[in-house]
Structure 1
């Protein structure tokens, strides 16, 4: 795969983000989640989820996309902002990170995480966390390599009760900065 271009998402990216979201779910979570949960992923529903966030972005959040070369198709996206729940004591949260399988292991996930960390820092969040399926060993290894530490666990009823674990970065400067983990 050629070098990816990371940029802020625009409203016209909504359909492409939804496509990546659904495709990445199907590629990544088959065998890790109940088939009914995976089958329920729907392009129109994902567009409805992302459209308001792209058309009227919250002031303390960001959505970044990765294009396959300048102006090419989207192959990944990430979203971040304030912590959405009260289970974890970190002000920021990485809400989403999805990379199509054909674009994995090319540094795109790292670049998106660094970009989101910089966005969170720019909004005054010095620490952040995320939730990932406990059974998703590849993602867990990726977050560990980027300096994340395990800080929690839960069962997610929205995912058929699937167990998740939380990773946190207590100092986002380490992830966003030029000497950060995984460089």
Structure 2
């Protein structure tokens, strides 16, 4: 029997564990989509650690919300949302990060992390790897739809998805 899952706001002392989940989930999810040189780079984990330390301590990230999902005190999922920085968008908030370790897919942690960083009823946008049918189906269940925009970031094709304000999201 699995221990209860706890979702809470991230704290500065979570940065290293968040980096571990970030890199671990990339390696589990993006192998074959992202170049192996990126995923296997020994500098990837320290770089993600510096990123999360900055997010959780620097003033420039104050408008952002970060959350972790944990089981028995171990971080198993991470999320980050904040103001949209793209010039051509009409949504209020952008989801920048939502990653779970594979063992926690389908546990409800992803939905709970999203709810922790994206205010209910607000418009939002995100970019998701393509192909990544599991993630795309998850976002559709959360009220997001592709808006036709695509990009390639570090060799990975991504599609943009948006959620209108006050979505009708089925409860699952």
Normalized against structure 2, the TM-score is what? 0.89
Structure 2: 5+ residue stretches without partners: none
Structure 2 counterpart of 1:49? 51
For the residue of structure 1 that corresponds to 2:106, the secondary structure is coil
Structure 2 counterpart of 1:27? 28
Aligned match for 1:135, one of 131, 138, 143: 131
1:1-183 matched pairs, under 5 angstroms? 1-40=2-41, 42-56=44-58, 58-69=61-72, 72-118=73-119, 126-157=122-153, 159-160=154-155, 162-171=156-165, 173-174=166-167, 180-183=169-172
For 2:84 and 2:110, locate their aligned partners in 1 and report how far apart those are by CA, in whole Å. Answer: 20
The answer on whether the counterparts of 2:93 and 2:118 sit within 8 Å (CA) in structure 1 is no
For the residue of structure 2 that corresponds to 1:51, the secondary structure is helix
Is the helix fraction higher in 1 or 2?
Answer: 1
The answer on whether the counterparts of 2:8 and 2:69 sit within 8 Å (CA) in structure 1 is yes
Structure 1: 5+ residue stretches without partners: none
For 1:128 and 1:17, locate their aligned partners in 2 and report how far apart those are by CA, in whole Å. Answer: 23
The number of aligned residues is 169
**Greater alpha carbon shift after TM alignment, 127-136 vs 30-39:** 30-39
RMSD of equivalent CA atoms: 1.9
Normalized against structure 1, the TM-score is what? 0.84
